[in-house]
Amino acid sequence: MSVANQKTRRLDGLSVFLPSHNEEGNVERVVKGFLDELPRLADSYEVIVVDDGSRDRTGEIAERLAAEDPHVRVVHHQVNRGYGGAVISGIRAAREPYVLLCDGDGQFDPADVGLLAARVPACDVVVGRRLQRADNLLRRFNGKAWTLLVRLLFDVRISDIDCGFKLMRRELLEGLELRAKGAMISTELMARLVARGARVEEVGVKHLPRLAGEQSGANPRVIMRAFKELFALHGELRHESSRASRDSLPSS
């Protein structure tokens, strides 16, 4: 399949949701970028801004965009629930057959949705892999180490587990129990989808420098919570797998 054909694959419907916390300098540009791109990719589409308790004008700007275009919706958190809470709200708000998670910081190119869409319906989940990650050395190192640990624990065979650019078939997300509050949500989401038998593929995408706002750094408390959630998830999925194996045995 040619690159041109890959970029023109249309979906029946696509919900894009943008977890956003204090992104007043990015939200309008990101939303309008998707509104320009989505008509050629999907017969029906929506852009959902998840305003995660922002203290700036993120929610106000998002509401204005929603008033200007019926394809835009806004979900507000009165208090900051963390990245995991924003992702869970975005998944629950999505209405279309396919759902795209895209971080609201403007570091992903809406045009790259076509690269992911080209891999469906052969795949249930298509995740981005940042080809040249526009982050500092420490964040890149931490990301690689975390991804390696996730691969060992869950056999999730992707190389950029925390890439915030994922296209998923909504049917597979229905009834999915997600609990992570912070960045561990990406790991939990992929581990649970793989456990459900999802067909997963990874596609290289651009990663752009942040033009506005500040990158949130992980403090030691956040890191410890992520590891606690990680090993709790590992134990839970092992228990579920063992129980499913016992239930499949013929009764005597």
User: Is the Cβ–Cβ distance between 64 and 141 less than 8 Å?
Assistant: no
d(CA 121, CA 155): 23
pLDDT at 76: 98
> What does each C-alpha distance from 37 to 23, 40, 45, 214 come to in angstroms?
21, 6, 10, 26
Per-residue pLDDT of the chain (252 residues; tens, 9 = 90+): 444 444 457 999 999 999 999 999 999 999 999 999 999 999 999 999 999 999 999 999 999 999 999 999 999 999 999 999 999 999 999 999 999 999 999 999 999 999 999 999 999 999 999 987 756 666 666 667 777 777 777 777 888 888 999 999 999 999 998 988 887 899 999 999 998 999 999 999 999 988 886 655 555 676 777 777 777 777 777 767 666 555 555 654
> What does each C-alpha distance from 79 to 47, 129, 134 come to in angstroms?
22, 31, 29
| The pairing of beta strand 98-102 with beta strand 165-169 | antiparallel
User: Is the Cβ–Cβ distance between 47 and 94 less than 8 Å?
Assistant: no
The residue extents of the domains of the chain are: 3-248
pLDDT at 83: 93
DSSP code per residue over 138-183: HHHHHHHHHHHHHHHHH----S-TT-SEEEEEHHHHTT------ST
pLDDT at 147: 75
> pTM for the whole thing?
0.83
pLDDT at 22: 96
Class of CATH domain 3-248 = alpha beta
